[in-house]
Chain A
Amino acid sequence: MAAQRGQAHTGAVAGSTGAAKTPPQPPLVIPPTAPPATTPPAPGPGETDETTALPPPSSAAQQLYSAAKGDLLQIRMILKNGGSQSTVGSGFLVGASNLVLTNYHVVSQMALDPGVYGGEYIDTDGKTGPVELLAVDVLHDLAVVRVNREGSGYFQVPERPVRLTQGQYLYSLGNPLDLGFAISEGSYNGVVKRSFYDQLIFTGPINSGMSGGPSVTASGMVAGINVSKRRDGELVSFLVPVRYAQELLRRVAQQARPPKNFNPLIGQQLLAHQREMIDRLLAEPLSIKTMGPYRVPVRESQQLRCWGRSNFRLEAEYTADSVSCAMEAAIYVSDTQQTGHVSMTHQYLRSSSLHPLQFAVLASSQFRVDRLGASRDTRLTRPSCTEQFVQTASLPLRAVTCVRAYRKFAGLYNFTLLTASTDDAQASLQSRLDLAGVSFENGLRATRAFLSALGRVHPERRPR
């Protein structure tokens, strides 16, 4: 997914660009909600016109905004102690109901820590009221909340998916950076193939704070929900297709009362995601690439993209070539936790001039990983590791698997597999597989598949 939903949300943190060139860190995107940077400026001299009555709406955007503003809301997460806002996003009233659609990442604090955070809405007239969380869809980054007022019926979430043609105008509504409600015009440019779940490409500005707002066609039909943008691009934004919102609204209609604790529900959704993710990863045998005499498994697809790199021009006595494949998107759970991600890296080190002992020191230093994620990360247990010398079908190697469990989500684990070949005194193939947020069985399955696929092209000529 090109990066969005999950990472979509780094809030006001500085956006790094060019992430796509350094594969191990998934690139990604922007933040929709976030603490506001500034307060709205006072109207400039030309902005207030007290002399005449407003002219009748002329442009499409003008008409849309004036018709839609009554049903447009800003959603704020409120720290219960102290009552101050911690993040802000947007949302909209669905039809004439009291249900509001927004992004999961706008209300994630309320979903994960209901004791600490509450929610509040503000409409375009400045009226406020409480919000009640009814349902979340972590995988598509959607949530439904209930408010104490009803919509005018302007925003219709169609029963059937909206048909869009490339280049069609879309209008995105929301409250960017907490500066005030805004409408921005852009165009629809197809479906992202890179994301794990479909998202629409919206070529238009979406800023932090607009997340959860609607993007509508010129006729006022909701086409998608604002979710994220690429930080390394210009006007490359993403929408959640409205059909996922329809599914979520149907689920809300069926449930008698909202769950008290959303954590198990989120855990289940993450489990469903990893099932799909690992099934897709292992649907067919991993494809094999050759690095020198070694055969390395990779999976290259629309979702998993591979990048290669070499130290060729470095002034060094050794050569290091690496291939990294990583999913470009992860599932956003909270602003500090993203999961449901797979990445694999192979590094082929070799040297003809280094003494074997020197090469051993070099290979050892490359093989050493001091921390797997933050060791003080309290949402995960400490890593538990298994280390052995292992012989695969054609390659002896040193294998280390470290696993950490998620404390809040039963049945989810992070797996890391590190391997280093032990067949050559002057060459070393070092591979790494990271699986974030998978079940133990799937972690074992993927680890085994990856490990057993590592091999040598000509095993019979192995020096050992």
Chain B
Amino acid sequence: MSAGPWFIEILARNGDVLQRQRVDGLPIRLGRGYGNDLIVDDDYAAPAHALAELDADGRLVLRDLATRNGIVHQGRRHHSLVLTGDTVVRIGHTSIRIRPADHPVAPELVDRTFHGWEGALPGAAGALLVGVFALGVRWVSDTQYVESVRYVEALAWGIAAALLWSGAWAFANRLFGRHARLGRHLFIIGSGLVALGAYTLLAATLGYAFSAEAFTHYASHVATLLVAGIIYFHLCTIKPPNRIRYRWICAGLAVLGSVLILVANVQRTGRFSDELYMAVLMPPQLRVSQDRGVDQFMREVEGMKEPLDRSRGHKPGEDATEN
């Protein structure tokens, strides 16, 4: 093991370095007293708590100086402990690691972050998207005489809600990453909302054009997927290296959400689908598939008799689940 300089690192529970101190030579004295090389500001540490020095084999050893709380490694108390660069010991409530200057570190990560896309630029784009979404929703459902105050209100509520949401993510980002990255979070929620709106419109259009009712019957599952996607991008913004893990977490969330929706639908209505029938009516120019005849429709209605008669014999609540 090399001789100095040495670095003592005080760690957070998640492994982040809270404080790092350079010590030029051995032995290193640790404790709450002012005569130590590292002053441990911890009420549970003794004034002279531990001493790190090389043993006969040249290994760095940490010795307990007969304290009440001792030194703890992996939940067990040790009188003395051999330290590698990765051994974390607890003194009182403080986690400590000692590394020599030649401790090997991992190679640098490839920087895929687009540093130009930070701050005001994505923030403005996100706010713009949120605004477009809020105004679009307001406009499309507006059946009263135009009054601009309703649009101003919609815009204000939309932006405020988006700021609250992205603010919470920025707070987490500041806590667990280094920067708040509010602009990016605002952009993510803005894009997510626009994607949700676009899907609703697309589902309605496809369902109406091709008589493909499944698009709206099960629209909530696509929405769940989109929300999971939004959360995934927020998480990746906080800790880009954990991308793969977040992918799995968000896929799990989406599946969980979908299952909950299905269970709730069955509980509530006995159907898997979100609605009894597709209520979407779009401009007639969008219709593509062929209309059926009245006879065809009535034949299909007739076909419902048998299943209905079968469920008549069941007890309430035991009806077969329908799509």
Contacts and interface: CB of A to CB of B under 8 A. Distances in A.
Which of B213, B276, B308, B314 counts the most chain A CB atoms within 10 A? B276
A410 interface: yes
A372 B139 CA distance: 30
A449 B204 CA distance: 30
Interface residues of B, number: 50
- Nearest 6 interchain pairs by C-beta: A378-B316, A368-B279, A425-B283, A391-B291, A356-B283, A363-B281
B242 to A, nearest CB: 41
15 contacts: A317-B144, A318-B143, A358-B141, A360-B281, A362-B141, A381-B308, A381-B319, A385-B304, A386-B297, A386-B300, A388-B296, A389-B289, A391-B293, A402-B276, A423-B284
A390 interface: yes
A446 to B, nearest CB: 11
Given A387-B278, A389-B289, A381 B312 contact: yes
A388 B281 contact: no
B297 A390 contact: yes
Interface of A: 315-318, 351, 354, 356-365, 367-372, 375, 378, 381-392, 396, 398-407, 410, 413, 418, 420, 422-425, 428, 440, 444, 447-448, 451-452, 463-464
Contacts of A316: 143-145
Interface in B263-315: 268-271, 275-285, 287, 289, 291-294, 296-298, 300-305, 307-309, 311-312, 314
A389 B294 contact: no
B294 A385 contact: no
A358 B143 contact: yes
A387 B212 CA distance: 11
Interface of B: 139-145, 204, 211, 213, 268-271, 275-285, 287, 289, 291-294, 296-298, 300-305, 307-309, 311-312, 314, 316-317, 319, 322
B270 A382 contact: yes
A437 to B, nearest CB: 14
Contact of A403 (B141, B268, B301, B316): B301
A357 B211 CA distance: 18
Given A317-B142, A369-B279, 14 more contacts: A354-B143, A358-B143, A382-B319, A382-B322, A387-B213, A388-B297, A389-B211, A389-B287, A389-B291, A390-B297, A396-B284, A396-B287, A422-B281, A444-B302
A235 B33 CA distance: 99
B167 to A, nearest CB: 31
A398 to B, nearest CB: 7
Contacts of A401: 297, 301
A410 B305 CA distance: 12
Contact of A361 (B140, B211, B287, B305): B140
A381 B305 contact: no
B302 to A, nearest CB: 6
Contacts of A398: 281
B55 to A, nearest CB: 76
A381 B211 contact: no
A363 B208 CA distance: 13
Contacts of B270: 382
B143 A317 contact: yes
Given A360-B283, A405-B312, A386 B304 contact: yes
Given A388-B211, A390-B292, A362 B143 contact: yes
A381 B300 contact: no
Given A363-B281, A370-B276, A405-B312, A391 B292 contact: yes
B195 to A, nearest CB: 18
A403 B297 contact: no
Given A357-B283, A370-B276, A406-B312, A382 B269 contact: yes
A391 B302 CA distance: 18
A384 B307 contact: yes
B209 to A, nearest CB: 10
Contact of B304 (A357, A363, A384): A384
Contact of B277 (A318, A356, A361, A402): A402
A375 B268 contact: yes
A315 B144 contact: yes
A441 B107 CA distance: 78
